[in-house]
Structure 1
Amino acid sequence: MLLNIAKNEIDIFNKLDERQKLFIECQIKFSNIKNNNNDDEEMKILLNEEERLKKYYFDLLDTVCFYAINNNITAKNFYSQYKNILLAVNELYGDTIKEYENICKVIKIIENDKTI
């Protein structure tokens, strides 16, 4: 049973990492175009894509946070592996993530528990 839990957690974390990578790659493309090009149409397309990927990433991150809160995955593993990412997400997207209840709960847990 523990092996199945570990496998599921690895799968979940891999999916989360994939979505994060897609989101970051899109942000980099947008930044490069913004700095090097004045093509408004291309910028608009990339901005829409960035918003879509951000939502795609935050939706899964919120679900994984829900799993951790409810002990469907090993919360301690998740908190230790994603602590810095969650704190960065909070710093960069504080207003955006307010609608993601589970992300906000996990960030509070991490901020309040100095053992993590």
Structure 2
Amino acid sequence: MLWYNILSLAFSALAIIISIIVVIYTNKNHRIECLKVVLDIETEMNARKLEFDKTSKEVCLLNITSDANENNRDEKIEILGNYFETTKENYFNSLDRLCYCIDKKYLADKDWRSEYRNMLRDTIEAFPDDFNAASAYRNIKKINELWQSN
């Protein structure tokens, strides 16, 4: 009977130690996965911002360099204008998803605030029509208000 109790105690202690090791390992893996998600979000946002900036540049260059008598100038402006709106919407959607994740505490506010606080404010100021009262980008507006008030 004594051996049975000692053996049970030893197996219980071993099970506890293994459980602690598994929890520590799982927690470490979870942090690494969270970091991967953060980096993926940032990569996606940067890609969309780059595309948005390239489109903005193309529209500006077309307005500067186009000859007033060019036959297809209006068509080019319309095509670039549509593409500009699409890239802008894609970029704003990625920002809105980031802000949603911050608002719902999927991502730590402190990790993003210092780098994106001014960028959010500048984006809203540059495109006021997209961030009016009926805006679809409520998460951007909410996080911006929070960050600007602190």
1:10 and 2:39 aligned: yes
**Gap runs ≥5 in structure 1:** none
Q: Take 1:26 and 1:15, find their aligned partners in 2: how far apart are those partners?
A: 17
Query: Which piece of structure 1 moves more, 88-97 or 12-21?
Result: 88-97
Q: CA RMSD in A?
A: 1.0
Name the SS of the counterpart of 1:72 in structure 2.
coil
The answer to whether the aligner puts 1:40 opposite 2:66 as a matched pair is no
Normalising by structure 1, we get a TM-score of 0.92
- CA distance in structure 1 between the aligned counterparts of 2:117 and 2:42, rounded to whole angstroms: 13
- Corresponding residue for 1:23? 52
Deviating beyond 6 angstroms after TM superposition, the runs of 4 or more aligned structure 1 residues are none
Q: Does 2:97 align with 1:63?
A: yes
Aligned amino acid, residue 108 of structure 1: E
Is 1:93 aligned to residue 127 of structure 2?
A: yes
Bigger Rg, which one: 2
CA displacement, residues 2-55 of structure 1 (integer Å, 9 cap, x when unaligned): 121111101101101110110011000000001111411111100000001111
Q: What TM-score does the superposition give when structure 2 sets the normalisation length?
A: 0.72
Task: State the aligned residue count.
Answer: 113
More divergent stretch after superposition (74-83 vs 51-60)? 74-83
Work out whether residues 117 and 148 of structure 2, in 8 Å CA contact, stay in contact via their aligned partners in 1.
no
Matched ranges for 1:95-114 at <5 A: 95-98=129-132, 99=135, 100-113=137-150
Output the CA distance in 2 between the equivalents of 1:85 and 1:31. Answer: 21
Amino acid at match of 1:72: Y
Distance in 1 between residues matched to 2:64 and 2:78, nearest whole Å: 14
Gapped regions of structure 2 (runs ≥ 5):
1-29
